[in-house]
Amino acid sequence: MKKPILGKRTFLRDNTVPAIAFEKAMTIRHRNTFSIAAGEEQNEPLYTGRYIAVLKEGADDFKHARKVFTNNAGMKISSINDFNANNYAAANEVDADVITYDQLGVALISGEPEQISTVSAMADNEYIIIPERIAYVPEDLPALADRDVATWGLNCTDVLKSTYTGNGVKVAILDTGFTMNHPDFAGRNITAQSFVDGDTDPMDHHGHGTHCTGTACGGIDANGLRYGVATKADIYIGKVLGNNGSGSQQSIWNGILWAADSGCKVISMSLESPVFPGQNYDLTYERFAKYASAKGAIVIAAAGNGSKRNWGHFTPVSSPADCPSVLAVAALDSNMNVADFSNRCINPTAQVDIAAPGYDIYSSWTLPQRYNRIHGTSMATPHVAGILALLWEQYPNYSPSEITVELFKFAKRLALPSIDVGIGLVMAK
């Protein structure tokens, strides 16, 4: 299987130049967000160079497509069903041009351009061909260094008042991995696997995944300050984004399958691919989210950090958060205002479902730093993941839809548009 061509998320928080240069960088980023189609060069491409075949609704299986792949395009085919849940990552190394996900009506194709043209031309109304997209860690903007460290997110969501801890609930964080030797997590039940091409180590060398894991399932820091929601949840780490902050759709698909097949009740994804105004949601992500739901899991994702509200710039909810079967999480600041960067519902099928603290969030980080405070819808999403774990502990026999009803029932309504915050502020019960 041909390796995906991935981009690199260059973090503005790492920029040491004066503030005016920071503003210039932000201007360039927002200018490029909707000008990629015009052919502008950028360091964060949209596509991996591979393609996806998606069966249309009503098509039974890949019977016709398999003939096209092999007989007409001369491709080798493998199936994800040849691998068990603990070995999905091995599919990245298989000697094949096509990997089918038969139960989901999806196939990943890594052929040559002429082969892609052949399978596209012979689709015969059975399937469509779309490019495989790159997912990125959303821009985790720098927090204010002169503010007191405080877990305001836990206080405003009533987490500290809850008698539940997520005990025994399996929570999957699909991200850049996790700092497995972080001292705050000593003795915790942690299962980890990497789905990144060429990287079998789930260790986080980026920081983003460790931060999200800490908010969702962490505990108490070295000074006795609590920063995690579900302090006794079982943690499942799926490394789907590489150390450069990007990953292929296939890595994320395999992470979702692994988490769902492992019995995780919550699958949290603080990652994004940009979506243009008028663009439909990704059919493959929707099918994988439905698969997870059928297995008993709730899938949530960050709404994305592409907006610049102070400039009047609003960006649609990112992918995969824009899928109907994925809960999209927006970010709020400590004054209960929508965070400047938080995306909004612009496309008809891509709504914001709920909002959570996502500004100046303190959590675990890679060693030796150990802790960090950053902003982003990425930081809001694990607040919801942790609170979902508390609900699953309280209602272990509920279905995903019933748990979602409880989540929405106890959310705090805000005097803000639903296109920005959905049902309101997530609250623990």
Active-site positions read 175, 208, 378
210 closest CA partner among 27, 366, 399, 394: 366
CA distances from 341 to 141, 171, 218, 307 (A): 9, 27, 25, 4
- Contact residues for 165 (Cβ-Cβ < 8 A; gap 6+): 230, 231, 232, 233, 390, 393
Structure tokens at 219: 């505990």
Question: What's the chain's Rg over C-alpha atoms?
Answer: 21
Q: What tokens were used for 291?
A: 């698969």
Q: Give the DSSP H/E element, type plus range, for residue 381.
A: helix 377-394
Cis peptide before 320 (omega within 30 of 0): yes
Residue type, 344: R
Peptide bond into 368 cis (omega under 30): yes
DSSP 280: P
Tokens of 385: 């993941």
